[in-house]
Structure 1
Amino acid sequence: MTMRKALASFLLLLFIPGALAETIGITMNIGKTIKVNGSNITLVDISSTGSIALRVNETLYVLDFGDSVKVGNLTVIVGSIFPNRQQARLFFIGKNISLLGGEPKVELTSMVRKVLLSPREKVGLSIEVKNLGEDSYVPLSVNVPEGWTGKLTFGNTEVLGVYLRHGESVGLTLELKAGSEPGTYRIKVGAGDSTLEITAVVTGNALQAYVDFPGKEATAGSNVSFTLHLSSEAPVDVPLSADAPVGWNVKFIALGSPVRIVRVSGERSIEVLVEIPSNASVGAHSVTINAGNESLNLLVYVTETHAGENGTLSVKVIDEESGNYVGGAKVILTGNGVNESATTLPDGTAVLKAPEGNYKLSVSKEAYKSVEMRVKLKAGEKTSVTVNLEKLPYYFDVLVPAPSESQILGKNFIYEVIIQNLGKEGDTYSLSLTMPKNWGGMIVESPDSRTGISSTYVESGGEKRLYVILIPPDNAELGNYTANLTVKSLGSDVAKRVILRAMLMGSYGMSVSLEKYSVEVKSGEETELRAKVYNTGTSPLTNVRIKVDAPKGWRVEVSPDRVASLGRDGVATFTVKINIPSDVDAGDYYVKITAMSDQKQSSEQVRITVTKGSGTTYAGLAMVFIAVLLLAFILKRYGRR
């Protein structure tokens, strides 16, 4: 390759617009394979003259500095070649480059950059290694002064290298043991091509630490504070840690904030805050404070415990927008085998009790977004939390005060329906009605209206009263029917269905009609009437019969005795025979005829005019004549006085 060719290749590399292509450079060792946009690229060999053998998929190329090869939509340019290191630098130019197996870009970080040590003192410092480049193996190294020892560990294992994917990180411990000579030293930690330098100061005057009052009394569930005094002649970063009983918590406070490392130059005081769990047992408990290489033992005497007592959680639920209390919200506390629930009162409060521990609190309410949060309860103590609920933009409810109605055939069913808009926004609701076969129906704004509607608008927080009218056909069978009302929100596209139940009952009606309402009959003779009984209702009449109320001594016969059932629009004919005794005086008599059934009854009356026969007339005249003769005889014989 000529110098002009190499120069042209590098000019191409330098002047390709960033908007059109991107460039990635990588240093490869002999035998290393990477995958670029799906193509396998392997550095096979490097000659002593400075040429490289590069395999792209199954094709082998021999290239010099500045040469280029097209790989799909990529251009590969050969950069610097290092025969003595068996390495070559390659540049990839193209769009949307995807590279696997490339070199890592390592970031090394540590919170401690300077540490004060005593001669031969051991210390452990936290180191984080993060790969910002491609997935790769990252070699690790520690460079310490003569007479020192240093290594990187993960757990209890010394680590010489780590494999990290892109974006992945790992926390390691730098274990150092200082030499015997005082002075200032530099420790270098290497990870790939990155290095981290830590300054270590070895002084004959070690860090000094003490606590004024290392033993204090407190009750379980409270906090107790100690003052830790630190001093050092040389500036030093002092790591702080603590060993405490299980469930206890120790914080180091400086200027009102928790700290884990403190710079000491001369004198400095740190607050040590010990948090005692509510279930701590009565008695002395040991807490160890570690400040650099110094350890101090503190004693906490617990005088009162709440072990075995429940913690109390007081929850107040508030509408985020209005600030009003939210009653009827469901509050659930779960965790540690506990599942407690309650409903907030009208003032938005609910109280739950559970053993000491960490829990998940869930709060939900219709028309609001649900909220979940973590809470910690302490035995014998009250914990209060306020939960703000955010209203959903669109939410509604459909209420039917009386979803089941009963009516007799021929009457309409009317149902009151209330649509409540519980969301933050006004909304329009579409309305649809599914009715039983052959039934009629409509949705109206007033029970008296006969104009149906198919949609309605309700303001946020408002409600709309509507009415559903169901009309059964005249020939409908008696029994139970259902209709479905569907209300759909145009804002949320949520639909709710309400089932309306209709019980169609029959009506009972009966009337009786007589063939004659006035008859004339001679005493001692019989008359015959026909009575017709009509079913004027919609339900069958059962056990239909005729009852006749006639004067005493009159004989009555009814045929038939009874009719078992008389259906809708049915007619039954009864024959009534009435026999008038011969000694009945002539005159008008009234006979009551009543049609009866198990359900209804109806009455009519007939006038019967009774007359005397001819024989009876002659006998009467004879008796009158005899009486006259007898009277004349008495007058003639005895005369008048």
Structure 2
Amino acid sequence: MKLKAALSTLLLLCLISGALMAPAQAGTVYSSVFSGTVNDGETKSAGGCFVSFEITNGSVHVEVTSPDYGSDDAYVPAGNAYYFKNVLRIYIASIPTTSSAVVDISKTTSSTSGTGIKVYCDTPAQNTLAGDEVSFPITIQNNLASDETLSLSSESPGGWSSKYDYNGKDIYQIYVPASSTKTVNLVVSTPYTSSIGQQTVYVKVGDSTLELYVDITSVNESVDVSAKLSSQIVYIGDKIYYDLTLDNLQAAENVYQLSVMGLPENWYYMYLESRSSSSELAETVVPASTQKSLVLCIVPPYSVSAGDYNFTARITASSNQTITKDLALKLKSGTSMTVNVDKLAYTASAGQTFTMNVYVTNSGTGSALTNVYPEVTAPSGWVVSSSPETVSTLKSGETQTFVISAQPPGNIVASDYDVSVDIMSDQATDTEEFRITIATSSYVPFVAGGIILVVLVGLVFLYKKYGRR
């Protein structure tokens, strides 16, 4: 048994020795941080990374996760090593059982290659649309024993732009402490005029260089459509306008077809140069890289109901590319009252009843007038009434006649008097003023004539009696 244990120990030492002699990246020195047996599903911490092992089909599935370098994995047969980001080396010495393996985990201690600065990108080639941005994470690994401040630069195709971003800041140098790593993002902006195909972006970090690739898969939008107000609230009957701006994003003049989708039945639309314009537009021309303002006029039918409506402005380029802008409209019912009368001046007699007709029309759109009634203000002593006294509902477009009866007192002095009629409702009010002239009673001339006749008869009598003396 002692001999068997000794042989097992010797075999383990040989396996670990073999791990240290396994192929390594040129110029890199590793130091073992763990050597021994791991079980299926076990995770080890090494060099700031977490290494998980899963034994399957005669090999070991190694997965490494790091807060600085991300994660990666590989299937490693016995006798082979897996290198993670030039930070760790995981060597699989043997797989003695289906649930265990003998491994060696080593971390990088130093680098003798070049300047000792390693630059790489996990995603060196990306697809995008013309006009979009692409972000490349650039990992900078300082393998030197000294801290380094490295200059950052890049070269991109004509018309393109790029910048280095680090924690939200636009930078052109980066400080990397000794034996540490930092990641910056190279943000590449492509113009809308970019040609379809692959382009190369050259990265330079200190003395290190890197090539990245951007593949323009298709052109992006040729026009951008914006609305000053994309959602409006208006009353039924009001004019509805949307102020739109077309931004030609291409370096060439474009003709755009103008239309609207999703309008309810019997609605109508017009594209205009301005709100004061009367000429409808079916298309418009926008010069290269410029903007143009348009007005979209929406015309619902008179019978439209209050509510929420949604529709879409559609702009179609000559390439048949379609750009849309969603618009919203909330229509509210408008209330309005119109009052008419036969005349504003009446002649009446003391003590006699006369009538005045008042016509009330709901001239609003959509909503009904409720609790409609006249409120009459007359001089003291007058007796007034209304027929009908009140109307519970007056729908849009309907007219109601109120007959106002008024009786002045019998002893009223002949003169001009004012009578005010206020038409009241829950939604609106209106007022009409009437001038009432009270005429002299019809018997007064006869009384006056009688008095004059009596006087004349008296004068004649006196003349006959005393005139001849």
TM-score of the aligned structures, taking structure 1 as reference length: 0.40
1:464: which partner in 2? 292
Larger Rg: 1
Q: 1:21-43 CA distances to partner (integer Å, 9 max, x unpaired)?
A: xxxxxxxxxxxxxxxxxxxxxxx
- What is the one-letter code of the residue matched to 2:297? I
Question: How far apart in 1 are the matches of 2:315 and 2:293?
Answer: 13
Kindly indicate whether residue 307 of structure 2 is the aligned counterpart of residue 479 of structure 1.
yes
| Counterpart contact for 1:440–1:470, Cα < 8 Å | yes
Kindly indicate whether residue 388 of structure 2 is the aligned counterpart of residue 560 of structure 1.
yes
Q: 1:107-139 CA distances to partner (integer Å, 9 max, x unpaired)?
A: xxxxxxxxxxxxxxxxx998xxxxxxxxxxxxx
Q: State percent identity of aligned pairs.
A: 23
C-alpha spacing 1:577/1:318, structure 2 compared with 1 (3 Å):
farther
2:110: which partner in 1? 249
For 1:426-575, what aligned pairs fall within 5 Å after superposition?
A: 427-434=254-261, 435-447=263-275, 448-454=277-283, 456-459=285-288, 461-491=289-319, 494-538=321-365, 539-575=367-403
Question: How far apart in 2 are the matches of 1:313 and 1:621?
Answer: 127
Q: Post-superposition shift, 1:585?
A: 0.6
2:434: which partner in 1? 606
Kindly indicate whether residue 148 of structure 2 is the aligned counterpart of residue 321 of structure 1.
no
C-alpha spacing 1:443/1:525, structure 2 compared with 1 (3 Å):
closer
For 1:31-50, what aligned pairs fall within 5 Å after superposition?
A: none
Question: How far apart in 2 are the matches of 1:350 and 1:252?
Answer: 25
Question: How far apart in 2 are the matches of 1:353 and 1:471?
Answer: 63
Q: Post-superposition shift, 1:577?
A: 2.0
1:275: which partner in 2? 144
- Report the secondary structure of 1:275's partner residue: coil
| Counterpart contact for 1:524–1:580, Cα < 8 Å | yes
Q: Post-superposition shift, 1:612?
A: 5.2
TM-score of the aligned structures, taking structure 2 as reference length: 0.52
- Report the secondary structure of 2:340's partner residue: strand
For 1:191-340, what aligned pairs fall within 5 Å after superposition?
A: 246-251=107-112, 275-276=144-145, 321-322=158-159
Question: How far apart in 2 are the matches of 1:598 and 1:312?
Answer: 78
C-alpha spacing 1:252/1:616, structure 2 compared with 1 (3 Å):
closer
Question: How far apart in 1 are the matches of 2:354 and 2:152?
Answer: 91
* Structure ranking higher on relative contact order (CA contacts 8 Å, 6+ apart): 2
- Report the secondary structure of 1:450's partner residue: coil
Q: Post-superposition shift, 1:498?
A: 0.7
Q: Post-superposition shift, 1:504?
A: 3.0
C-alpha spacing 1:315/1:464, structure 2 compared with 1 (3 Å):
farther
Question: How far apart in 2 are the matches of 1:533 and 1:421?
Answer: 54
Q: Post-superposition shift, 1:623?
A: 12
For 1:379-458, what aligned pairs fall within 5 Å after superposition?
A: 394-395=220-221, 396-423=223-250, 427-434=254-261, 435-447=263-275, 448-454=277-283, 456-458=285-287
C-alpha spacing 1:314/1:400, structure 2 compared with 1 (3 Å):
farther
Question: Runs of 5+ in structure 2 lacking a partner?
Answer: 1-20, 24-78, 81-105, 118-141, 453-469
- What is the one-letter code of the residue matched to 1:363? V
Match of 2:413 among 580, 585, 588: 585
C-alpha spacing 1:320/1:373, structure 2 compared with 1 (3 Å):
closer
For 1:82-93, what aligned pairs fall within 5 Å after superposition?
A: none
- What is the one-letter code of the residue matched to 2:158? E
- The RMSD of aligned alpha carbons is 5.2
| Counterpart contact for 1:359–1:374, Cα < 8 Å | no
Question: How far apart in 1 are the matches of 2:449 and 2:150?
Answer: 116
- What is the one-letter code of the residue matched to 1:496? I
C-alpha spacing 1:526/1:484, structure 2 compared with 1 (3 Å):
same
- What is the one-letter code of the residue matched to 2:110? N
Which deviates the most, 611-620 or 601-610? 611-620
| Counterpart contact for 2:257–2:315, Cα < 8 Å | yes
C-alpha spacing 1:358/1:429, structure 2 compared with 1 (3 Å):
farther
Q: Post-superposition shift, 1:438?
A: 0.9
C-alpha spacing 1:480/1:246, structure 2 compared with 1 (3 Å):
same
| Counterpart contact for 1:317–1:349, Cα < 8 Å | no
C-alpha spacing 1:352/1:257, structure 2 compared with 1 (3 Å):
closer
Question: How far apart in 2 are the matches of 1:404 and 1:277?
Answer: 60
- Report the secondary structure of 2:112's partner residue: strand
Kindly indicate whether residue 189 of structure 2 is the aligned counterpart of residue 361 of structure 1.
no
Question: Runs of 5+ in structure 1 lacking a partner?
Answer: 1-123, 127-171, 174-244, 259-272, 279-310, 334-339, 377-384, 625-641
| Counterpart contact for 1:443–1:466, Cα < 8 Å | yes
Question: How far apart in 2 are the matches of 1:319 and 1:599?
Answer: 67
Q: Post-superposition shift, 1:533?
A: 0.9
C-alpha spacing 1:252/1:599, structure 2 compared with 1 (3 Å):
closer
Q: Post-superposition shift, 1:332?
A: 7.7
| Counterpart contact for 2:336–2:363, Cα < 8 Å | yes
2:121: which partner in 1? none
- What is the one-letter code of the residue matched to 1:251? T
C-alpha spacing 1:618/1:455, structure 2 compared with 1 (3 Å):
closer
C-alpha spacing 1:452/1:317, structure 2 compared with 1 (3 Å):
farther
C-alpha spacing 1:252/1:519, structure 2 compared with 1 (3 Å):
closer
- Report the secondary structure of 2:437's partner residue: strand
Question: How far apart in 2 are the matches of 1:479 and 1:312?
Answer: 64
For 1:33-72, what aligned pairs fall within 5 Å after superposition?
A: none
Question: How far apart in 1 are the matches of 2:213 and 2:303?
Answer: 58
Q: Post-superposition shift, 1:479?
A: 2.6
Question: How far apart in 2 are the matches of 1:588 and 1:576?
Answer: 18
Q: 1:32-77 CA distances to partner (integer Å, 9 max, x unpaired)?
A: xxxxxxxxxxxxxxxxxxxxxxxxxxxxxxxxxxxxxxxxxxxxxx
C-alpha spacing 1:432/1:562, structure 2 compared with 1 (3 Å):
same
C-alpha spacing 1:410/1:423, structure 2 compared with 1 (3 Å):
same
- What is the one-letter code of the residue matched to 1:502? L
Question: How far apart in 1 are the matches of 2:172 and 2:331?
Answer: 46
How many residue pairs match? The answer is: 314
- What is the one-letter code of the residue matched to 2:362? N
2:30: which partner in 1? none
Question: How far apart in 2 are the matches of 1:614 and 1:517?
Answer: 24
